[in-house]
Structure 1
């Protein structure tokens, strides 16, 4: 399927394209909403300095803010998705640019709201909540503002920090430019022996090649490029950590990590429990890598051997309709209502299914609060596309349930909870395929695929989380980061995680230098916690049935109406304890034991 000439957008049948015309049937309707949002923001200044005048005034301001932001969200989402249909369309580029410009202007015009609320006396806000029914839906939002009050600075200092925000974010932009514009890889050879350019996009595919020389050459070329810039990247990341540390001190936090986790009110114990539980299971990861070395039949297992599938993918294409049928079987434990809404989404054209010329690559779930929860994908008939379908529809189903049950102010999801909905679907799909696949080779391929999902998400992201914690701890204790120090730290972590089966090399010490997520500090751990929570939830649904399923569906309806850890407790998962990560580790162990039994 993937080798056919790409069609133009107009050649794709409408039933295979998302129906975003439901949002705006014509551009003039979009223009009307854009103008209304801008006018609303211009008139919003009447609330400045008056949010504490009365409970009704505060309610009026919050309701008007929601109306403006809802219009703005709808305008932006539509323009973004229209451009993604064909990025070459200059008209859509202009619409998106105007929407982004409006976001910047409106955000600036309304930026006084939160600081002004936080500046109000606590007893006044509590009194407002007791006396104005319209404020009840904003209770969590207002109490959360009070929680953060101790870390908000006087207005003049806040304004100064806001003015410095672009400068303070420079390290991430510098890395982006270094990584995507200035970093040059040497050419490498593909499986046919042809010389090709090594890129960020094709690196992982080359690392999955069955030809070991192809993997070795790509691996060497990649890390030699980072080695050549290691002192520059090291200095840049060092200042990124210093910024985190100083910013936390300015806002009266005990540490950069505490400051980062505070936005979601995440206990630091969640982070520590993750690292502890994963480290306790490293012997099982070491067993798996020993088995990988045996199956690959290599004298030495090298870092360029850890991504290649242990079984070549059996040739088997699937149609989109077959993928939907498989998804229905895999997601059946989620119940009739979930499947009914899932299938309604397929029929109502939530999904833009196939690739076309100019279309954005990859996949995502998107939409505004009052639109369908749309999915962009580029279905190519492979097994991975089935998992893309259930993953992105997991996000969209979460959005569907949330928007049907929450007001606009809680209609979104935190990063901490968002990946749970998609990964529960993946986990259920994986279990179904493992139980029902009759082809031994395909069964082994799926089993290895599942184990690799654990290794690359739970173990790898936790190793990254350890690296971040230690770099920030070092600076907070008076140390000064150098490239050499970070190379040594990363090399030690890699050796501990991968264990004795792996033959040490001199290049993996530079891997930290290519991780863009490190410039969004204390972020990556959420991939691992989300994966752990999703694994625990899927286990619970499969073993306990309806009660666990109903609790999970209740969680999907919550949006952001409480803190992430509290919301996951609704689904039966307490991330403030080691339990969910321990349970995920038991699942990983059982998968490795099954693979060992097949060899």
Structure 2
């Protein structure tokens, strides 16, 4: 019999995140939701008054800020409640209520940016100079002026804010289908024993040394998505068209330009990422050839990408926590102690898979809460690394909240993947420095290759797929699941090279498995993130105290500066392809080291 995942109610409390630290119960959540709703008329009353006096402007901005903090707390609670059991309709309804309240808050405050831009610059600057409390908003105003050409009238801004809720329906529908309703056939191993296939267990199954199990699990997983390819294709097409609508409504040339402009990223940065990843494909072709020979196969397939080349190492979650907290020691006592407390006594982490739980992993939280980490821990070294990755996000959030007011206590997606990949680089350095034996060293290098495969191979391919689909939508061309499969399978064929056999349908449907694609041009930032992270980690691992201090300042910068400037604080210039080339040099070093070990 295949092992069945436990229901949510069967999960041990200690293995779950402490959602009661956000709200003790649903009643408390509803009380805050009602409180925020009652604040909306008061916020609306500021319309037409922002230029009256410095004190009025300060009161308005602080009131808006407090409302956003409350909204963040309300939303993160409902998201966490839903993501641990997407089959829970009460949790889904509560999340929908939060989405609706978020849209109402956005519509209520939509007048703010147009009204501030309508003020004479000298008048606004004079108010800021006259009221010390307004000084903190200087970067906010500077960024608003930068975006002036894309801020519409108060009426249009209100309409766009109201559109946020229906435009979010595509992602909600995708989650319901992919994480809740989608079912997969059991996968048989070489002995004919069945194994449960879910979006939470597929990663572990693909790391099995049993090729029969790997192949059957891969087919089951891919075929599950293929059965609903037209539905998912229609959902994703709706999301893409929403991106195009938002870009055109704000007068951007394209959805890509809208995404880049939001974080003040030149288009050349995106182009550098795609160019570097395509230039260095021969490194991947070499790696696939090594893997094919090591596995003794004439040609490998996607199910063999993560097949172990040595014994699979296993860790308990407690062991994983101990390894990760030791690995981050180069970042100092405050970082290490905070991380250890979060992963243990403060219960930041929801550890294991259960029925209906969202697949993969992420870090969450809002201003005034501690960070939270969703995992589907399976005991492999890859999952130990995933814990390090998500802890990097969480500590980024923690440092930002320690050093920034709420208005700057977030950070752009462009820098988010630096902190996460940085921790994985520290983990790798920590494990390799212990002079591991051959089997352990192979396992460490395989984890590295798995990480680099995701960020310097898969994500750039998905980004090129994303650009192609958005280009089609912007030209008014039809978007179909079959067309999307064809585009992605062609990209995989070029990326894999001759050592890997591509299944046009099963490889082509991979796009349907990445919720990241529902965030407009997010995925390329994984590649830029891993590049910056590995470049920065070298000096910190070498004990450079100045490099450590600069990195921690970067973590605390939040959105008080533009993302590229935040990275320059840490010592990285991402307008140059040099950090990407350095990352591929690290990758090539891992490939050479692995080749020497497996012959």
User: How big is the shift at 1:330?
Assistant: 1.5
Structure 1 window deviating more from structure 2 (33-42 vs 305-314): it is 33-42
Matched, 1:336 2:333: yes
CA deviations 1:140-192 (Å, max 9, x no partner) are: 11221222221123344444444555555565556556656776655542454
Q: Could you say what the CA RMSD is over the residues aligned between the two structures, in angstroms?
A: 3.9
Give the Cα–Cα distance (whole angstroms) in 1 for the partners of residues 26 and 168 of structure 2: 35
- In structure 2, the residue matched to 1:292 is 291
CA spacing shift, 1:368–1:295, aligned 2, 3 Å: same
Q: 1: distance between equivalents of 2:90 and 2:167?
A: 34
Within 2, Cα distance between the matches of 1:8 and 1:229? 29
TM (normalized to structure 2)?
0.85
Range with greater deviation from structure 2 (511-520 or 249-258): 511-520
Whole-angstrom distance in 1 between the partners of 2:88 and 2:160: 38
Question: Which residue number in structure 2 is paired with residue 55 of structure 1?
Answer: 54
SS at match of 1:436: coil
CA distance in 2, matches of 1:7, 1:576: 46
Q: For the residues of structure 1 that align with 2:410 and 2:402, how far apart are their CA atoms?
A: 12
Q: Deviations over 1:274-324 (max 9, x none)?
A: 11111121111111000000011011222222232222303x44461x444
TM-score (norm 1): 0.85
Cα distance 1:4–1:459, how it changes in 2: closer, same or farther (>3 A)?
A: closer
Label 1:121 to 1:9 Cα distance change in 2 as closer, same or farther (>3 A): farther
* Matched pairs, number: 594
Residues in 2 aligned to 1:498 and 1:391: alpha-carbon distance in whole angstroms: 26
Cα distance, 1:433–1:80 mapped onto 2, change above 3 Å: same
SS at match of 1:200: coil
Give the secondary structure class of the aligned counterpart of 2:45. Answer: helix
Q: Which runs of 5+ in 1 are unaligned?
A: none
| Structure 2 residue aligned with 1:200 | 199
How far apart are the structure 1 equivalents of 2:356 and 2:179? 21
Per-residue CA deviation, residues 440-486 of structure 1 (Å, 9 max, x unaligned), is 21211111111121012221100111122233345556755555654
- Whether the 8 Å contact between 2:330 and 2:543 is mirrored in structure 1 is no
Measure, in 1, the Cα distance between the counterparts of 2:297 and 2:291: 9
Q: Give the superposition deviation at 1:439.
A: 2.9
Q: CA deviation at 1:336?
A: 3.3
1:514 Cα deviation (Å)? Answer: 4.4
Can you give the 5+ residue segments of structure 2 that lack an aligned partner in the other structure? none
What is the distance in 2 between the residues matched to 1:372 and 1:175? 28
* Alignment of 1:497 onto 2:495: yes
Q: Match of 1:441?
A: 439
Q: In the superposition, relative to structure 1, how do residues 192 and 123 fare at CA in structure 2: closer, same or farther (>3 Å)?
A: farther
Is 1:67 the equivalent of 2:58? no
Give the structure with higher Rg (CA).
1
Contact 1:6/1:355, CA 8 A, preserved across alignment: no
Q: Which digits, 9 at most, give the CA deviation of each residue in 1:419-449, with x for residues without a partner? A: 2222211110112112215332121111111
Aligned 1:89-128 pairs, distance under 5 A: 102-128=101-127
Compared CA separation, residues 258 and 11, structure 1 to 2 (3 A): closer
Map 1:70-219 to 2 at 5 A: 70-77=69-76, 102-166=101-165, 168=167, 171-172=170-171, 175=174, 179=178, 188-190=187-189, 192-195=191-194, 198-219=197-218
